[in-house]
Amino acid sequence: MEFLTTIISRTGEELLISLIIKILNEFVDVIRLFLIFPEGLIYFLKVVAYIWLNVKKILKLGLQTMLNTLKYIVSNITISNKYHFILSTFCKVLKFRRNRMLPLEGVTVIALEQAIAVPFATRQLADMGARVIKVERPGAGDFARNYDTTVKGMSSHFVWCNRSKESIELDLKSEQGKEALSRLLEKADVLVQNLAPGALERMGFDPQELTQKNQELIVCSLSGYGNNGPYEEKKAYDLLVQCEAGLVSVTGSEETPSKAGISIADIAAGMYAYTGILTALLNRTKTGEGTIIEVSMLEALGEWMGYPAYYAAYGGTEPKRTGASHSTIYPYGPFKCGDNKTVFIGLQNEREWKDFCERVLKNPELAEDAKFENNSQRSANRTELKALIEDSFKDLSSDDVIERVEDAKIANARLNNMKNFFDHPQLSARNRWQEVQTPEGAINALIPPVTMKGVESVMKPVPALGEHTDDILDEIGMRKVNK
């Protein structure tokens, strides 16, 4: 900690000189490794030379720890895998541990975002320590701020997707707004946007030109249907993409096709934007160069439609809409109990079917019935089988049924509503809720689902519109013009 304090408190060349001296002092024990890996000495000399020759460039990044400096160097010097062993050993000798830093700490993301897809992606980046600067329209901001007023007067969509970000108001139609964006992009690692098709280019920010000016920049553009083809200019909202991808055709009852209850096309595209950016950042450590990424909502959701698409294309028939039941596996779905509550049960193989008949239904002979002897037969005769199962459950409460299926080790679930989920005992037992501040006070937020040893996700406030405008403009040497 003393070394970290020293590094953070010093600036300019004094920091760099101190840093190099510290490296030389601390690497005495590592010299022995050079006897085993002589190439490591060559790499070490490259590191020192790179620092010395690129003082201004390194200082411009405002690096605050030695590990950040090393990460930057790795992104600019092509090294083989075995040199990474040397690098990790250096970190250990300096008493650094990767798990003491957030995985994306030091990464700056400029987000020209609205609605759900890109805000969802950039929130994942912010969760892992990236600095996300959300560019919003003056006065109005991201229109998702006004989707509803259910969370202490704020939009449920917005608070879900926008914690841990900084908000700056920029009029990107004005010269000052464009200049501010240009300055932000000079030192950014990632630009991600989901503006209307061609809007970024019309403002003078062509991705090809941006990556030529800043060769380390990663530009990610998310759209409904991609940047060419007959649907390029077509408006794309979540429900409409669900329709185009065929999701609605396989969801709902036989009588009524239905959309998914969440913005699944947005979420799918957002997750591919997130993983695409992570991949590009990783690749940049090898090549030293950024790239241009394109994500289409149709193609993202289409990837998730693999099973029904193959089923229809090669099977010759469309999957049936079967409500809350699985369309091709049975029993796999909802069953009413004697207390009028519903329990969901899922069987995956013949062993489970036999156990289900013997231990849950108390009817072992049913397992031998030719109408139900395999999954294809059970699925074809599901109406009759459902009636038999619910007849067995009519004198049992939902708790009784759950007890039986648990005892038989059959997969099951209760039909929870959203309040039940918010109060779920498993989430409570694992301490998965954490308070997050908003402009209207604290709210509970679900901690990100990926847990890593030694890494605590960022759970910073949801920003007010333009909350960080003055600070960010000051950082890039500009002032806000009041009209």
463 closest CA partner among 103, 184, 122? 122
Closest CA to 106 of 124, 126, 129: 129
The answer for residues whose C-beta is within 8 angstroms of residue 79's C-beta and 6 or more apart is: 43, 87
Could you tell me the two tokens for 102?
């957030």
207's tokens: 């991705």
Q: Please tell me what DSSP assigns to residue 263.
A: -
Q: At CA 444, angle to CA 440 and CA 445, rounded to 5?
A: 110
- β-bridge mates for residue 134, sequence order: 111, 167
Tally: H helices and E strands in the chain: 23, 11
Q: What are residue 334's DSSP bridge partners?
A: 344
Radius of gyration of the chain (CA): 28
Of 127, 189, 238, 266, catalytic: 266
Instruction: Evaluate the omega torsion of the peptide bond into residue 448 and state whether it is cis, within 30 degrees of 0.
Output: no
Please, are residues 143 and 115 in contact by the beta-carbon 8 Å criterion? yes
Catalytic residue flag (residue 142):
no
- Asked whether the CA dihedral 121, 64, 96, 281 is positive or negative, the reply is positive
Query: Could you give the strand order of the β-sheet that contains 131-136, starting from the edge strand earlier in sequence?
Result: 165-169, 131-136, 108-112, 190-193, 218-223, 292-296
Cβ–Cβ under 8 Å, residues 84 and 75: no
Q: List beta partners, residue 203.
A: none
Active site residues: 266
